[in-house]
Structures are given as structure tokens and as C-alpha cells.
Amino acid sequence: MVILLKRAYEPPGPDDGFRILVDRLWPRGVSKDAARIDWWFKEIAPSTPLRKWFGHDPLKWDEFRERYCQELDQNPAAVGQLVDHLRRGPVTLVYGAKDTEHSHALVLKAYLETLPH
């Protein structure tokens, strides 16, 4: 499985493969044409209450990771859809967060990498 991460504000690249926006909200200031998103998969993003609670606060990072992984555990249908795409070829998880070290996309990528291929 090839899973890449890229901010929505970065230009698409030839090695991106299937581009999946994994945010509940469309990134501000990014046109749909420029983003070249193949699939906007809102259901795989953290829930709105979890996203609002976290607020990209690095002090809440460890607990956020745990809570988001619990949400993923409770959403096997959505995770399964994502795994199906991963089996077909490279996937780029696209996200809008400015903080690349505390993004839910990092948690999602690590979670997916722990699953059996």
C-alpha cells in the first residue's frame, strides 16, 4: 500500500495516484479544479465534535489521536472503502490543516498502515 500525504494547498503531482480529500470541510481558498480531488471522503474525517474539541491544539494531540482511532474502529465500512482504493494503487490523502505535524491525516495514514493488506 502506498499512502502519501499532501496539503490541499500544494500542487498535485504525477505520483499522487488517487487523490482523496479527507476533511469534512473544503479547504478555504482552494478551487475544485486546482485541487484535482478524485474523491471527497468526508465520512473518514474526525467527527465535528472531535474536530472542534481538538482545535489543532498540540497539547491535545495524544488524546485526539486516541479518540480519532476509536472513531475509525467504530466506522469499519468507511475504513473498508478506503482500503479498497489502497489496494488499487497509490493514494494521496489530501488535507487542509496548516500544522502538518498535528493533522488527522497523519493519524489516518498510521492507522491504515497497521491494517492487514
Instruction: Please give the pLDDT value at position 116.
Output: 78
With a cut of 80, say whether residue 109 has pLDDT above it: yes
Residue that has been written with the C-alpha cell 505535524 in this structure: 101
With a cut of 70, say whether residue 117 has pLDDT above it: no
pLDDT in tens, 44-87: 999 999 999 999 999 999 999 999 999 999 999 999 999 999 99
State the burial class of residue 37 (Cβ atoms within 10 Å of its Cβ: 0-12, 13-18, 19+). Answer: buried
The whole-angstrom separation of Cα 75 and Cα 99 is: 25
Mean pLDDT score across all residues of the chain: 94
